[in-house]
Amino acid sequence: MEELNSFVVVANRLPVDMTAHPDGTYSITPSPGGLVTGLSPVLEQHRGCWVGWPGTVDVAPDPFRTDTGILLHPVRLTASDFEGFYEGFSNATLWPLFHDLIVPPVYDVDWWHDFREVNLKFAEAVNQVAAENATVWVQDYQLLLVPGILRQMRPDLCIGFFLHIPFPNPELFRQLPWREEIVRGMLGADLIGFHLPQNADNFLSLTRQVAGTAGSHTGQPDELEVEGEAAIREVKAHVITADGRKVGVGAFPISIDTGAVEQASQSSVEALRADLGSPEIVFLGVDRLDYTKGILQRLLAFEELLESGGLDPATTVFLQVATPSRERIEHYRVSRSQVEEAVGRINGRFGRMGHPVVHYLHRSLPKDDLQILYTAADVMLVTPFKDGMNLVAKEYVAAHRSGTGALILSEFAGAADELTEAYLCNPFDLESIKRQMLAAVHDLRHNPDYAAERMRANSEQVLSHDVNVWASSFLTCLEDFK
Ligand code: GDG
């Protein structure tokens, strides 16, 4: 019988990619993404179990422990599960709906049935590995029904749920034909966490309107203190469900593992800048290639500044890393071809022989290489139309704790709530992005002390609110609600 665990995380994906080979063996590589960045250190500390899909359909290798001590328990998904549950309901229905309809969500009843069935599979896998009275932490929008299913299967468990993407305004959410089931699924948890108080407020307003809750909410937010001042988190309220349970709802902004950040060496940074043609200013973007991230808009802003003479193509380069993501979904394909067309056009217009102005990488890079890019970049552009948090912004400021560099950050990224000294922009307004690009370059050239002051304020925020603060404040609060 499989080992039982007192701490279980369940997420759509395991933190690795497994590739099955014809001889029956597998190769395993770490898979990037915000959730992996946030959760790996927490699981390593608890020597916990991570339940998730290994990234290849129709295989489920036996559970195994990683080098860092996490027990991985793979869940088997069929090709049809993957299409309906993951590409369909999760990423063509919920993702656009929860990101304020940047593209129109598709409401398809077959996908909904797949979503329910696959959520049941994940809940069954948790049931198999969770010890009596275990703590189970359910992650993200793909598993919104898991808390409710687990509550029925295993009333002994203490269940937390954390949403890594924004929670939309109830007026938008109410479009969803299966809205009651989704809200009831979430309310199976003892504590529901969001990144921002605004997300929690949206959820609380919604529960008053749907889902058959008794509609009872505390009027006054409670304050919860965990591990000293840095970790004060607001527990906004609780909801009393129709069956009389008390469910906590709060804001817990995720962060990065600042302790694990390895500073890039000066020589590797210099080598990269030399490879880029030793420009005066390096702009950088690092994103999954997702239409929410505003990659095209920042390239267009760059192009207009080259055109108007605001930036000089002889001394400026733009480096964009766009990690492949959800490539079979139509809107992702369109988004990729728009980005690649813009890269080609801008280089055609402003590049010279052997000196492109935009360096574009459509692939995933090793963490160490990413760190070199962060350190080498003078100006980082994080310009999503909507983003739950955005860890790239926090990774960049952590790499510039000495006060170098400048961060341009969308007002619509959750991170803008904390990184208030960034150069904030409205990504829907090209003029706003352009203004902040020029302001950042101007300050780096002519007012470096001011730029450094801003960067240091942002870095201090990230260094004092790392991923351990996020996890411990959520888990301590969960103890209070179980
Ligand atoms: C979701 C929410 C929320 C990216 N490219 C490579 C790579 N990455 C890593 C980054 C960063 C992570 O992936 C991306 O995190 P983000 O937070 O920026 O974005 P999402 O993937 O959309 O994450 C988001 C997050 O969940 C956590 O709650 O902040 O709002 O959408 O850590 O460094 N890592 C490597 N190579 C790459 O090419 N190694």
Instruction: Tell me the CA–centroid distance for residue 323 and ligand 1, in Å.
Output: 10
- What is the percentage of the chain residues whose pLDDT exceeds 90? 73
CA distance 421 to 440: 12
**What is the fold of 5-255+468-480?**
Rossmann fold (3.40.50)
Taking a C-beta distance cutoff of 8 angstroms, is the pair 298, 383 a contact?
Answer: yes
Asked: is 260-464 a CATH 3.30.70.920 domain? The reply is no
Binding site membership of 286 for ligand 1 (Cβ less than 6 Å): yes
Q: What pLDDT digit, counting tens, does each position of 386-411 carry?
A: 999 999 999 999 999 999 999 999 99
CA distance 441 to 406: 8
pLDDT at 212 over 80: no
Binding site membership of 466 for ligand 1 (Cβ less than 6 Å): no
User: Ligand 1 atom 33: the closest Cα is on which residue?
Assistant: 392
Which atom of ligand 1 is nearest to 325's Cα? 21
Q: What is the pLDDT of residue 33?
A: 57
Q: What is the pLDDT of residue 390?
A: 97
CA distance 184 to 148: 7
Residue 194: how many CB atoms within 10 A of its CB?
26
Instruction: Tell me the CA–centroid distance for residue 288 and ligand 1, in Å.
Output: 7
**In this structure, are strands 130-139 and 158-162 parallel, antiparallel, or unpaired?**
parallel
Q: What pLDDT digit, counting tens, does each position of 148-200 carry?
A: 999 999 999 999 999 999 999 999 999 999 999 999 999 999 999 999 999 99
pLDDT at 301 over 50: yes
Both tokens of residue 127? 């049931």
**In this structure, are strands 233-240 and 246-251 parallel, antiparallel, or unpaired?**
antiparallel
CA dist list (Å): 283 to 220, 252, 359:
45, 30, 10
Binding site membership of 320 for ligand 1 (Cβ less than 6 Å): no
pLDDT at 327 over 80: yes
Q: What is the pLDDT of residue 253?
A: 95
Instruction: Tell me the CA–centroid distance for residue 229 and ligand 1, in Å.
Output: 27
Binding site membership of 365 for ligand 1 (Cβ less than 6 Å): yes
Binding site membership of 388 for ligand 1 (Cβ less than 6 Å): yes
Both tokens of residue 287? 């994103």
Residue 472: how many CB atoms within 10 A of its CB?
17
Q: What is the DSSP letter of 40?
A: H
Binding site membership of 391 for ligand 1 (Cβ less than 6 Å): yes
CATH 3.40.50.2000 segments of the chain: 5-255+468-480, 260-464
Q: Which residues pair with 320 in a beta bridge?
A: 285, 360
Instruction: Tell me the CA–centroid distance for residue 93 and ligand 1, in Å.
Output: 21
> Which residue is associated with the tokens 């019988």?
1
Binding site membership of 12 for ligand 1 (Cβ less than 6 Å): no
Q: Which residues pair with 13 in a beta bridge?
A: 53
CA atoms within 13 A on the CB side of 261: 27
Spatial CA neighbour of 382 closest among 454, 254, 288, 303? 288
Instruction: Tell me the CA–centroid distance for residue 447 and ligand 1, in Å.
Output: 31
CA distance 187 to 170: 16
Q: What is the pLDDT of residue 42?
A: 75
Q: What is the DSSP letter of 315?
A: T
Instruction: Tell me the CA–centroid distance for residue 339 and ligand 1, in Å.
Output: 19
Q: What is the pLDDT of residue 38?
A: 67
Binding site membership of 35 for ligand 1 (Cβ less than 6 Å): yes
Both tokens of residue 145? 């029904």
User: Ligand 1 atom 34: the closest Cα is on which residue?
Assistant: 32
Q: Where are the alpha helices (DSSP H) in 309-405?
A: 330-350, 367-376, 391-399
Q: What is the pLDDT of residue 343?
A: 98
Instruction: Tell me the CA–centroid distance for residue 318 and ligand 1, in Å.
Output: 20
Cβ-proximal residues to 238 (8 Å cutoff; 6+ apart), any chain: 217, 218, 246, 247, 248, 249, 481
Binding site membership of 257 for ligand 1 (Cβ less than 6 Å): no
- Which of 390, 397, 409, 465 best tests ligand 1's pocket when mutated (most atoms within 8 Å of CB)? 390
pLDDT at 217 over 70: no
Percent of residues in the chain assigned helix, strand, coil, to nearest 5: 45, 20, 35
Q: What is the pLDDT of residue 281?
A: 98
**In this structure, are strands 5-13 and 246-251 parallel, antiparallel, or unpaired?**
unpaired
Taking a C-beta distance cutoff of 8 angstroms, is the pair 204, 175 a contact?
Answer: no
Q: Average pLDDT of the chain?
A: 90
pLDDT at 35 over 70: no
Taking a C-beta distance cutoff of 8 angstroms, is the pair 125, 75 a contact?
Answer: yes
Q: What pLDDT digit, counting tens, does each position of 41-89 carry?
A: 778 877 789 999 988 898 888 898 877 788 899 999 999 999 999 999 9
Which atom of ligand 1 is nearest to 290's Cα? 22
Please state which of the ranges 30-39, 94-103, 376-385, 456-465 shows the lowest mean pLDDT.
30-39
Instruction: Tell me the CA–centroid distance for residue 244 and ligand 1, in Å.
Output: 38
Q: What pLDDT digit, counting tens, does each position of 11-34 carry?
A: 999 888 777 788 877 777 766 555
Taking a C-beta distance cutoff of 8 angstroms, is the pair 365, 321 a contact?
Answer: yes
**In this structure, are strands 216-217 and 233-240 parallel, antiparallel, or unpaired?**
antiparallel
> Which residue is associated with the tokens 């690092």?
286
CA distance 10 to 126: 7
Q: What pLDDT digit, counting tens, does each position of 244-274 carry?
A: 888 999 999 999 988 878 889 999 999 999 9
Spatial CA neighbour of 373 closest among 280, 276, 292? 276
CA distance 95 to 101: 9
Instruction: Tell me the CA–centroid distance for residue 163 and ligand 1, in Å.
Output: 14
Binding site membership of 370 for ligand 1 (Cβ less than 6 Å): yes
Instruction: Tell me the CA–centroid distance for residue 325 and ligand 1, in Å.
Output: 11
